[in-house]
């Protein structure tokens, strides 16, 4: 095992503090097992063997230790970013605003061009609650406090005594963490996941957005761009947020119409609370008097008019407060207008608040208070633009099969012959029925009399319609259809909406005010996606709805979601990557033919096999037409806390998203051309990689191998998310969600979804066309021939490959009881691992551990400390599985320790699924 010669600054402080806490609690034997002791204790120290009967505590200690290492690394990164901002000659990291502006200047973009590009930038992270977050919310909060204490201790302003107090607080937090269970003893409910999501949306992101735009301002100045345009640049990009928690019902029986209604209400209430708190702070800062100013007098008159529109004695009382301070009076009245539900004369939508902020800005500028506008008012205006009165748009996702079942039930209840078999009808027959029915406003069901199979769908549409009628559609996201197989799957949503008030009948025909979004997930779906979209966009009702939703003078926009997780599970990482790339190119062309701008929604997961990778490189690797200034992307599970738990890290990740989109606009032509030979080479690699992957997963003994050689059965028993691990409960690979699929392979250190198939693909290319193979190698390197998509793919696969461990693979494979199946499947995996490794070494010019020292510096300490955890988990799996067959009570007693081992290994790898 490669030794880590250096750990991040801060690890010694955190680990020695943890050691001291454990020993103070009489846990000396546990403290002796802590990893990396030669780096923070003494040069010759090594972890002691685990004491007999204390394995649960050792697992918890290692899990905490890995998180402490992550805190130190995160702080090192943030401090490095700060130093870059302070040092004008320093080297900014890839993906930063400064690098983006540098690139734009080099490309000959004028200041006006850059400002126009910035105004086109729109990024929207979408939070999902997939079952990948292995830590309790209480534990996440304790880790956030630990990070803050570490940051404080690095500040030289404290006296020795003050530093002692901070360290006391840190150790008290560590003790609390030690005494708090790391895992869920009961499966978390939607309320738990929603509460955590609201914390990020309502508490973390408003501060992070503010810090992110300041980073833009700093980079603009550092790049030598005009200071008088800096504020304009600072607030030009659009940052917003989306949310699936409480709306995503694909295979999740717990998400009801009432859940969605509650979620929309909570999002709105939280958004109003955030706005009110910011307005209160603004009022404390704008204490200007109004004596002798015509502008102040005009604002006073606005106050009187606004007070007159608000009902009750409260408005009159507000006018008596802060007399002579019209700015404060105006802000007090704005706060009164924020009430939820809206008071008579109050705000119904955030646009009304923005209009009143315009009034306040005009008054301030009229008295020459431009500085106050730029430093106090404009940040709040930007906050309202980002969060509105909805905080985040709530998407509603459902599987196309559930829509089929609902329509079948409605048809049968309406007396349509053979309606119950609707899901089995050929596409032309379904289209004929859909087209005919959508010509009429007549519903298939009577009010309150819908059949049971249709009620869940219709009820949620009623909730959306009612919310839109009361508050507008600002907080309503898209209706996403997972497993979209045809245009009929999308038109089915319109028919179901017709049975509610969601489909609106206007002059000229029906209009659906919410967007219907296809989700293309499998390899076959991605290949057929352009044909499906072309058919869908040609439909009259779809076209009419797109035009109705488009702002005046702008082209209509159609959102398309592409899935990285299921395509990877279906065809392997290479086939997933290339089919996603080609599908996005072709889909963008379809949109162009129809005069529609496509907005791609990237369903990326937290592991490399599910589309994860460095954000700036991901954006650089996308086809030019798939960015176009607009990015929507999922943030799933543990990646949310990893990226956004702390303000410095959160603002950095928002910077990477926005700056990456800006860079894509700047370089959307010259940087993304590549020779046709490379396209043919990728076709060859993908074809052979896909066939090799399907040879593995279609092997007779593969399901048994996967079931025993990974802890997937334990993961399915875990309490780390409210969503079931399988869509319908069937014991099949197709029914298994991509998250436990990747999670299980990572735990057993196969990391198979992240690398399998590349070696076979490259070997086939080399044998078929040696010149194309050499061209491909050059396209991976830095320089004029570099092709970003290939660089991104190979770099990600190399990282996943470095996380895999042949020794642990063999140890987990030995858990498979059938020797024939075990050895046949393992041989396929082993041979592909060795072949892929040989080609990666050729690409990088040597051993990956030497050629990728930065990645190895991150992985080395973790891989070293994981050895004992894997040994223990394998023994636990043997005992737990045996007990499940003979003694269920004993198996249940072992479950918490097994789940602790899963949690500890996930913390060590820094990824679940």
Alpha-carbon distance of 264 to 467, in angstroms, equals: 8
Among 39, 252, 467, 569, the active-site one is 569
Per-residue tokens: 322: 């802060």
DSSP output for 610-676: GT-S-HHHHHHTS-GGGTTTEEEEEEETHHHHHHHSSHHHHHHHHHHHHHHHHHHHHTTTGGG---H
Read off the DSSP letter of residue 472. -
Which one, of 729, 606, 637, lies nearest residue 188 by Cα?
Answer: 637
**Cβ neighbours for 782, distance < 8 A, ≥ 6 positions apart:** none
Tell the residue number behind the tokens 């009164």, with chain if given. 336
Q: Please give the torsion angle defined by the CA atoms of residues 64, 65, 69 and 70, in that order, rounded to the nearest 10 degrees.
A: -20
The Cα 833–Cα 831 span in angstroms is: 5
Q: Cβ neighbours of residue 42 under 8 Å, at least 6 residues apart?
A: none
Interior CA angle at 646 toward 642 and 650, to 5°? 75
Query: What are the CB-based long-range contacts (under 8 Å, 24+) for 317-325?
Result: 324/289, 324/290, 324/291, 325/287, 325/288, 325/289, 325/290
Query: Annotated catalytic, 130?
Result: yes
Strands 122-128 and 242-243: parallel
CA count, 13 A, side-chain hemisphere, 211: 19
Instruction: Report residue 684 as tokens.
Output: 């060859």
DSSP codes of every residue in 349-398:
SHHHHHHHHHHHHHHHHHTT-HHHIIIIIHHHHHHHHHHTTTSSEEEEEE
Helices and strands counted in the chain (H then E): 41, 11
- DSSP H helical ranges for 54-189: 55-86, 97-106, 111-120, 137-153, 160-179
Question: Would you give the distance in Å from CA 875 to the centre of its chain?
Answer: 34
- From the candidates 39, 62, 71, 130, give the one annotated as an active-site residue: 130
Sign of the C-alpha dihedral, residues 864, 869, 872, 873?
Answer: negative
Mapped onto helix, strand or coil, the DSSP state of residue 899 is helix
- What CA–CA distance (Å, rounded) separates 827 from 533? 41
What are the phi and psi torsion angles at 515 (to 5°)? -80, 135
As a whole number of angstroms, the distance between CA 424 and CA 843 comes to 49
- Burial (CB count <10 Å: 0-12, 13-18, 19+), residue 131: buried
CA dist., res. 147 & res. 420, Å (int): 57
- Residues 644-674 as b/e (b if ≥16 CB within 10 A, e otherwise) read bbbbbbbbbbbbbbbbbbbbbbbbbeebbeb
Contact between 128 and 248 under an 8 Å Cβ cutoff? The reply is: yes
343 contacts 335 by C-beta, under 8 angstroms: no
Closest CA to 577 of 517, 617, 538: 617
Q: Is the peptide bond before 341 cis (omega within 30 degrees of 0)?
A: yes
Number of Cβ within 10 Å of residue 186's Cβ equals 7
- Residue 201 contacts residue 239 (beta carbons within 8 Å): no
- Annotation marks residue 187 as catalytic: no
- CA–CA separation, 130 and 913 (whole Å): 9
Q: Tell me the CA distances in angstroms from 483 to 415, 426, 676, 693, 702, one per residue in order.
A: 28, 17, 32, 21, 24
User: Which of the residues are catalytic?
Assistant: 130, 569
């Amino acid at each position: 095992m490669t030794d880590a010669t250096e750990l991040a600054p801060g690890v010694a402080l955190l680990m020695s503090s943890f050691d001291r806490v454990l020993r103070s609690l009489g846990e000396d034997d546990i403290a002796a097992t802590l990893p990396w002791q030669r780096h923070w204790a003494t040069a010759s120290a090594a972890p002691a063997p685990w004491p007999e009967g204390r394995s649960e505590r050792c697992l918890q200690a290692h899990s905490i230790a890995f998180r402490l290492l992550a805190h130190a690394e995160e702080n090192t990164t943030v401090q490095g970013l700060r130093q870059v901002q302070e040092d004008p000659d320093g080297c900014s990291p890839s993906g930063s605003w400064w690098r983006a502006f540098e690139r734009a200047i080099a490309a000959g973009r004028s200041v006006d061009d850059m400002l126009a590009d910035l105004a086109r930038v729109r990024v929207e992270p979408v939070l999902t609650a997939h079952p990948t977050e292995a830590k309790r919310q209480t534990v996440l909060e304790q880790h956030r406090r630990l990070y803050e204490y570490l940051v404080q201790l690095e500040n030289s302003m404290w006296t020795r005594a003050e530093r002692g107090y901070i360290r006391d607080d840190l150790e008290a937090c560590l003790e609390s963490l030690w005494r708090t269970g790391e895992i869920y003893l009961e499966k978390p409910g939607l309320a738990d996941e929603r509460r955590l999501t609201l914390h990020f949306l309502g508490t973390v992101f408003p501060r992070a957005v503010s810090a992110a735009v300041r980073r833009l301002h700093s980079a603009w100045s550092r790049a030598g761009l005009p200071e008088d345009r800096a504020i304009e640049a600072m607030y030009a990009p659009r940052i917003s947020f989306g949310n699936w928690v409480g709306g995503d019902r694909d295979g999740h029986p717990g998400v009801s119409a009432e859940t969605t209604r509650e979620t929309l209400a909570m999002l709105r209430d939280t958004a109003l609370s955030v706005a009110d708190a910011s307005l209160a702070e603004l009022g404390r800062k704008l204490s200007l008097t109004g004596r002798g100013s015509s502008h102040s007098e005009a604002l006073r008159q606005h106050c009187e008019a606004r007070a007159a529109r608000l009902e009750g004695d409260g408005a009159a009382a507000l006018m008596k407060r802060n007399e002579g301070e019209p700015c404060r009076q105006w802000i007090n009245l704005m706060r009164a207008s924020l009430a939820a539900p809206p008071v008579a004369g109050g705000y119904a939508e955030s646009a009304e608040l923005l209009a009143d902020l315009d009034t306040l800005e005009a008054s301030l500028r009229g008295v020459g208070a431009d500085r106050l506008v730029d430093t106090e008012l404009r940040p709040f205006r930007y906050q309202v633009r980002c969060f509105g009165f909805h905080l985040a748009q709530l998407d509603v996702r459902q599987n196309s099969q559930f829509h089929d079942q609902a329509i079948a039930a409605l048809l049968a209840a309406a007396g349509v012959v053979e309606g119950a078999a609707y899901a089995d009808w050929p596409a032309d027959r379904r289209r004929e029925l859909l087209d005919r029915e959508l010509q009429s406003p007549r519903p298939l069901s009577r009010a309150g009399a819908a059949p049971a199979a249709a009620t869940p769908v219709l009820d949620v549409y009623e909730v959306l319609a009612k919310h839109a009628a009361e508050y507008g559609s600002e907080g309503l996201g898209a209706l996403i259809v997972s497993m979209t197989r045809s245009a009929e799957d999308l038109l089915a949503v319109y028919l179901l909406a017709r049975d509610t008030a969601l489909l609106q009948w206007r002059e000229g025909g029906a209009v659906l005010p919410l967007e219907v979004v296809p989700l293309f997930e499998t390899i076959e779906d991605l290949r057929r996606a352009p044909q499906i979209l072309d058919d869908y966009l040609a439909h009259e009702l779809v076209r009419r709805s797109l035009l109705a939703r488009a702002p005046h003078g702008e082209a209509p926009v159609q959102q398309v979601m592409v899935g990285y997780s299921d395509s990877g599970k279906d065809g392997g990482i290479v086939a997933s990557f290339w089919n996603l790339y080609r599908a996005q190119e072709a889909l963008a062309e379809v949109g162009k033919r129809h005069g529609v701008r496509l907005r791609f929604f990237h369903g990326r997961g937290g592991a490399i096999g599910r589309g994860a990778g460095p954000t700036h490189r991901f954006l650089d690797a996308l086809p030019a037409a798939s960015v176009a200034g607009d990015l929507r992307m999922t943030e799933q599970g543990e990646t949310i806390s990893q990226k956004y738990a702390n303000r410095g890290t959160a603002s950095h990740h928002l910077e990477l998203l926005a700056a990456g989109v800006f860079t894509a606009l700047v370089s959307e032509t010259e940087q993304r051309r590549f020779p046709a030979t490379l396209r043919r080479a990728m076709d060859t690699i993908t074809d052979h990689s896909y066939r090799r992957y399907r040879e593995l997963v279609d092997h007779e003994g593969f399901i048994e191998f996967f079931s025993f050689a990974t802890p997937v059965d334990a993961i399915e028993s875990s309490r780390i998310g409210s969503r079931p691990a399988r869509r319908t409960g069937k014991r099949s690979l197709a029914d298994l969600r991509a998250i436990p699929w990747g999670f299980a392979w990572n735990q057993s250190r196969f990391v198979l979804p992240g690398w399998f198939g590349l070696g076979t693909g490259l070997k086939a290319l080399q044998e078929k066309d040696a010149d194309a193979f050499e061209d491909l190698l050059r396209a991976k390197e830095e320089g004029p021939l570099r092709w970003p998509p290939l660089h991104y793919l190979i770099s990600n696969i190399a990282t996943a490959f470095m996380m895999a461990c042949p020794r642990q693979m063999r140890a987990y494979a030995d858990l498979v009881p059938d020797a024939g199946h075990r050895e046949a499947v393992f041989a396929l995996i082993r041979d592909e691992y060795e072949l892929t490794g040989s080609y990666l070494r050729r690409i990088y010019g040597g051993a990956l551990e030497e050629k990728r020292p930065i990645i190895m510096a991150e992985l080395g300490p973790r891989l070293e400390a994981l050895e004992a955890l894997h040994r223990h988990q394998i023994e636990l799996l043997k005992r737990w599985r045996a007990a499940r067959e003979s003694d269920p009570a004993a198996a249940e007693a072992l479950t918490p320790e097994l789940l602790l081992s899963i949690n500890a290994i996930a913390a060590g790898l820094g990824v679940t699924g």
